[in-house]
Amino acid sequence: MLADSNSLRVVMAQLDFLVGDIQGNIAKIMTAAVDARDRLRADVIVFPELTVTGYPPEDLLLRPSFIRQVEPAMQRLCMEIEGITAVVGYPAATSEGLRNSAAVIRDGAIQAVYHKQLLPNYGVFDEKRYFVAGAEPTVVVINNVRVGITICEDVWQLDPVQKAVAAGAQLLLNLNASPFHTGKGQLRLDILRQRVAENGIPIVYVNLVGGQDELVFDGHSQVVNSKGELTHRAPFCAEGLYPVDFTIGVTVEPIPGEIAEEPSEEAAIYQAIVRGVRDYVTKNGFPGVVLGLSGGIDSALTLAMAVDALGADRVEAVLMPSRYTADMSNTDAEEEAQALGVKYQLMPIEPAFQSFLSILQPVLDGLPLDSTEENIQARCRGVLLMAISNKTGKMVLTTGNKSETAVGYSTLYGDMAGGFAPIKDVLKTMVYRLSVYRNRLTPVIPQRVLDRPPSAELRPDQTDQDSLPPYETLDAILHGYVEEDHSVDELIAAGFERATVERVTRLVIVNEYKRRQAAPGVRITPRAFGRDRRYPITSGFRR
């Protein structure tokens, strides 16, 4: 602990916690607290929202047996944490109901408890399903500084911060579990600056890091001084303990420190997906992953992300050419696999395809070729990948993007078969941008993969644009319809052709049933399919 009574050292514990692993999370809290005390000489360490249970625990919070584990865990923290103040997020069982809370632990006891006042119930958040809102501020004295506590959403609105300041707070500690999406970094900073402008006290914003199912928490914990200036920012998507020193005088001000770089949009998305893949595979205990490598752009990007997330030794690629696969597709797939150093094998699907056609001959005889035969090829590949998964324990990564997912340009039990979909929330045009970004780091995706027209190669000379509008047009319509909730008429008024808009929006609506059966994937936009956008499968809505 700092000896100078005119200073305060706060450590931002930007760490990754496993949902449901209360004992493991408690051990990690204690290790961090000791490190902050002994190595960093901190007065206080601040952890993210619901640190004890991990975030979001979802319906685990409805299980009495789960909640009963929290109190003894908190008691253990009180007994073990000495010589430092720890601010820890946890679910508090109260007479009024369960609350999303923060405990101030010091001297072997919980000195104060703050209950979150604003419970978000939009997008990916369902906190009103589980928690009762608090109403009162909490201000504690740490090293002669009156410190206010708030949790996540509380800082997005004026009232909770204003209450803390009215109660005497000179400094605000804000515990967060704020998931990533594009543009979120600037949005957070703008909000913090607005709260500071209204209330005139510095804010320490401590955010969770790590992947949890579809969500990725990107960290980027930060400090804004009383003038609204950014003085500290922790790295993007990286764990660590980050100290912040404050001077104590008439006001309490942070001494400027390290400000991690704000990544570009492509870098942020790429790093978030890599983090999401790594944590999903590792936290769920898979030894590695396997994926189909076609020589196309989607599987090429997915393979690069998988290797960056897990290492080449935990990734396996399978080339499964059909009668329609171009030689250059196999060549490009092998070139990338070799560049990344992954194990790969060639499994042509022609024998399996012929067998299915033979079995189905009474049904198919005399009928024209259509999507039936195309889907059989995709399902042959799905069977092979799932067999490898069953035998090795490796999870199958699917390679579909958001453009395809939106309009159903994918095959149930075929290319949709798998456990996780890294680029599920990535529009096709962004797939190309991310591939270019990845090649700037080290060139692993063959240039021809980026240059040639995209194709599923399920019939002779096929390209995606045989079935879909150009991706620049398709993605612009999808962005407006899915992410901005624009109507058909609004999209037409924006300049898109009526027939194209009506076709695309109809495909989005009628393929909801497919999306419900799709693997989860990393959320990188504010309106990902799934938690953000919950539409009925059965619906008469058409506009």
> In a 3-state reduction of DSSP, which class is residue 173?
strand
Strands (DSSP E) along 272-367, which ranges? 289-292, 315-319, 343-346
97 known ligand binder: no
335 known ligand binder: no
Q: How does DSSP classify residue 19?
A: T
H or E element that contains 470? none
375 known ligand binder: yes
Cis peptide before 56 (omega within 30 of 0): yes
Query: What are the φ and ψ backbone dihedral angles of 176, each rounded to 5 degrees?
Result: -135, 150
What is the C-alpha to C-alpha distance for residues 173 and 202, in angstroms, rounded to an integer?
9
203 known ligand binder: no
H or E element that contains 158? helix 158-166
Report yes or no: 116 and 99 within 8 Å, Cβ to Cβ.
Answer: yes
What is the C-alpha to C-alpha distance for residues 437 and 433, in angstroms, rounded to an integer?
6
What is the C-alpha to C-alpha distance for residues 246 and 360, in angstroms, rounded to an integer?
74
What is the C-alpha to C-alpha distance for residues 462 and 444, in angstroms, rounded to an integer?
25
295 known ligand binder: yes
Active site residues: 49, 116, 152
The two three-digit tokens of residue 266, written as one number? 């492509």
H or E element that contains 230? strand 230-233
In this structure, how many other beta carbons lie within 10 angstroms of the beta carbon of residue 377?
26
Question: Rounded to the nearest 5 degrees, what angle is found at the Cα of 463, between the Cα atoms of 337 and 495?
Answer: 120
In this structure, how many other beta carbons lie within 10 angstroms of the beta carbon of residue 81?
21
Report yes or no: 132 and 94 within 8 Å, Cβ to Cβ.
Answer: yes
336 known ligand binder: no
Strands 145-151 and 139-142: what pairing? antiparallel
399 known ligand binder: yes
402 known ligand binder: no
297 known ligand binder: yes
Bridge partner residues of 292 (DSSP): 318
What is the C-alpha to C-alpha distance for residues 35 and 33, in angstroms, rounded to an integer?
5
Strands (DSSP E) along 187-248, which ranges? 203-207, 209-212, 215-218, 222-224, 230-233, 240-248
Bridge partner residues of 259 (DSSP): 233
Report yes or no: 405 and 518 within 8 Å, Cβ to Cβ.
Answer: yes
CA dihedral 191, 192, 196, 202 (to 10 degrees): 170
Bridge partner residues of 235 (DSSP): none
514 known ligand binder: yes
Binding residues: 122, 178, 184, 292-299, 375, 399, 404, 514
Q: Binding site for ATP, residues?
A: 292-299, 399
Mark the binding-site residues for L-glutamine, compressed into ranges.
122, 178, 184
| Binding site per annotation, positions for deamido-NAD(+) | 375, 404, 514
